[in-house]
A and B are shown apart, each in its own frame.
Chain A
Amino acid sequence: MRNLIIFLRRYFNFFLFLLLEVICIVLVFRNNDFQKTAYLNSANNVSARLYNRYNNVQYYFHLKATNDSLVNENARLHNILRTSYDSVTLDNLVKTDTIRTYSTDTTRKVVGIELRRYLYHAAKVVNNTVNAPINYITIHRGSANGLKPNMGVIGPSGIVGIVRSVSPNYAVVLSLLSKGRNFGFSARLSHSKEMGTVRWYGGDAGYALMEDVPKSVRLIKGDTVVTSGYSALFPENIPIGYVESYSLTDKGSTAYTIRIKLATNFYNLQYVYVVDNMLKDEQKSLEDSTYRLIK
């Protein structure tokens, strides 16, 4: 016993070193698990507030680019607004979260009522990185505004990422620019309607790879890659990127690897929209109960 105590005292420094390193490594491993919520991250009071103050200054330098992207978005939205088409009247519409559609002939019968499925929350980006293997974006909207983990996040020109953890006024978004074996986005080529998965493999923040597209598909350079709508996180047809080049990994492989230029410019991201899918829980519980039946 005495020898043990002498031994411990003699190598106290080394044991303290081992203990501290083990604590650090455990923290790393816990944090790398995408499913768990992180405890100490930039959504906490001190760092989020500092980031917010810093962004107030830095924001001015990006005003021009931000304005351009917002104007482009406005133009796009005006183009799909119902008032842009002359065959629809808006006289008898009730102010609820439904859209009634009318037949276009003179009888003007109600053809159907569409329920709201997606609700968009606008949020200001207060911190954003692009050069780490796993990048996070801190946004100034939190659980007080109805944000929850696992909501999709889109920007003015394309998808951005997924909400990972929330505090009352801030949320941390796992950016599309994140290397991870089980982190990918379900995507579709808008020309051939073929499905695939978009993943980021580090390196340049402007490009990602789309995989699992069969060899039989005819690919076109410049084709738009959009969200598939299968994942319940994002609505259909939100742009992800544009086909830049494509290749087969080797002669024998049956799937293309497509390099896509990302639609979102992650270098000057200032505003994002968090997508709340009202029917997500219903879809998820139905899918889960079916999986359980098969097991």
Chain B
Amino acid sequence: MSILLRNIIRFVLLLLLQVFVLNQVLLHQLVSLNLYMLFVLLLPFNLPRPALMLLALLMGLSMDMFMNTMGVHAAACVFIAYLRPFIINILSPQGGFETTQKTPSMTSMGVSQFLTFAAILVFLHNLVFFSLEVFGFGNFFYLLLKILCSTAASIFLIVLYELLFFSKK
């Protein structure tokens, strides 16, 4: 399957999964299950940065359309899309990642590297997302707790997703 087709399918799949499954699950006030930003995380390594940001904007606006939160998802997505190349640069070994696989995954980056990469970006996404959502730092510790709990939940979901779709070594 070509990279383009794979990403289009992933876009639709993650959008539907987020809107119709994860957003219908009410775990706790502090935990909201977000997985849709995985689309931005798993875009190919060699994609130029403007394209990365525009695709993230598209994903964010699609989510906003469903959730009635105009601009909140989009701002968070564009933010992590801009920072993604920096994080990859910092985490990559001397000669860059193996070129056999073109997208970030547990097999192409190594388990610990991939988890660090995902954790940093998910945390930054949630930071922007929840700050914009509550609008102001009225209750700072509640906000921080919510960001941390939701980040943990998202990373758990990302690991599940990776184990489901990239089990082959």
Contacts and interface: CB of A to CB of B under 8 A. Distances in A.
Interface of A: 12-13, 16-17, 20-21, 23-28, 30-32, 38-42, 44, 46-47, 50-51, 54, 58, 129-134, 136, 172, 179, 203-204, 267
B56 to A, nearest CB: 8
Given A24-B78, A25-B75, A130-B26, A41 B49 contact: no
Contacts, number: 88
A31 to B, nearest CB: 4
B34 interface: no
Interface of B: 19-20, 23-24, 26, 29, 32, 49-50, 53-54, 57, 60-61, 64-72, 74-75, 78-79, 82, 132-135
B68 A38 contact: yes
Residues of A contacting B: mostly: helix
Contacts of B67: 42, 129, 132
B23 A40 contact: no
Contacts of A172: 68
Contact of B68 (A30, A42, A50, A54): A42
Given A13-B50, A131-B32, A133-B133, A27 B70 contact: yes
B65 A20 contact: no
Nearest to A165: B68
Contacts of B71: 23-28, 31
A23 B78 CA distance: 11
A273 to B, nearest CB: 22
How would you classify the secondary structure of chain B's contact residues: helix, strand, loop or mixed? helix
Contacts of B66: 42, 47, 50-51
Contacts of B23: 129
Contact of A20 (B19, B53, B69, B135): B53
Nearest to A51: B66
B110 to A, nearest CB: 27
A38 B24 CA distance: 23
A42 B57 CA distance: 18
B75 A132 contact: no
Contacts of B75: 21, 24-25, 28
A25 B61 CA distance: 12
A41 B65 contact: yes
A269 to B, nearest CB: 14
Given A27-B71, A31-B69, 10 more contacts: A17-B78, A21-B78, A24-B57, A25-B71, A28-B71, A28-B75, A40-B61, A41-B68, A133-B135, A136-B68
Contacts of B65: 40-42, 44, 46-47
Nearest to B54: A20
A21 B26 CA distance: 30
